[in-house]
Structure 1
Amino acid sequence: MDTHTMHPAGGSLWSQATTATLHCLTGCAIGEVLGMVIGTALDLHNLGTVLLSVVLAFVFGYGLTMRSVLSSGLALRAALGVALAADTVSISVMEVVDNGFILVVPGALDAGLASWLFWASLVASLAIAFVVTVPVNRWLISRGRGHAVVHGLHH
């Protein structure tokens, strides 16, 4: 089976995976940054800040996908199912990697919003998570899973 023509979205699997990961990164980054900013501003414990960031990353990640699939005419319940199928693995990998990175950078979570360390660590964590998640998404798409589910709705 030719996996380069398996999915009607066109382009190579790497291209599709990169696009899917950029989509995932958008939702994750919105939630992650918002969670880190809120948690830091409220002086939450590091665990509270990370948990808030993870929850918001999933909310925004699923929300962006649902917005897209709802516009294709799916009912809300079906759209939620597609979002869960399309994004759960990708967001999970991204969140483990980016929060893991932030946690190992000495002082990153305690640095404060005005600190270059806070922002540099956050940007670096998201960049590393993107690089790690692209091959995961490629693997999922090659098996008709992940964002391949979403692409199937657009045709």
Structure 2
Amino acid sequence: MAAQATAHCLTGCAIGEIVGMAIGTALAWHNVPTMILAIVLAFAFGYSLTMRGVLRAGLDVRSALRVALAADTVSITIMELADNGTIALFPGAMDATLSDALFWISLALSFVVAFLLTTPVNKWMIARGKGHAVVHQYH
């Protein structure tokens, strides 16, 4: 269950990260604004994927947002720290462009690192009825 929850969360984070990094890189933004955009979009896409599911289950928007915040905030935060930290430490990754293999390789590696670091946290939280355990009552 923790691996599924992490994969779900990683999907939203990855969409946001890729879109944010692609926009920032394509517009030749500096590293910090690009990273900020990617992080903001990762949270937005991560929360929206969870909200989509609980809205389908019949919750109103306000309740769905509360569930998404409770379910995903810790997970997305850890993922963002892990994947952005990996990219920041990967030699040359911060200066790679969209056409560089290094851009995509470092991004893929950062998602693997984020998944590996976040899964045990999600397992711990689910075992205590927190995190994605909050969402499961609506599925």
Does residue 1:138 correspond to 2:116, yes or no?
no
Contact preservation (8 Å) 1:40, 1:109: no
Residue identity in the other structure for 2:9: C
**For the residues of structure 2 that align with 1:50 and 1:57, how far apart are their CA atoms?**
10
For 2:37, give the aligned amino acid.
L
Aligned mate of 1:97, from 75, 82, 97: 82
Residue identity over aligned pairs, in percent, reads 63
One-letter identity of the residue aligned with 2:114: A
> Of 87, 102, 106, which aligns to 1:121?
106
Paired residues in the alignment total: 139
Give the aligned partner of residue 15 of structure 2.
30
| Cα drift, residue 112 of structure 1 | 0.6
TM-superposed deviation, 1:49: 0.8
Structure 1 unaligned runs (5+)? Answer: 1-15
Cα distance in 2 between the residues matched to 1:69 and 1:47 = 33
**Aligned-pair CA distance for 1:80:** 0.3
Give the Cα separation in 2 of the matches to 1:55 and 1:127: 20
More helix by share: 2
User: 1:152 matched to which residue of 2?
Assistant: 137
Q: TM-score, normalised by structure 1?
A: 0.88
Please give the per-residue CA displacement for 1:88-114, whole angstroms capped at 9, x wherever unaligned: 000000000000000011211211111
Q: Post-superposition, which runs of at least 4 consecutive aligned residues in structure 1 deviate over 3 A? A: none
In the superposition, the TM-score normalised over structure 2's length comes to 0.98
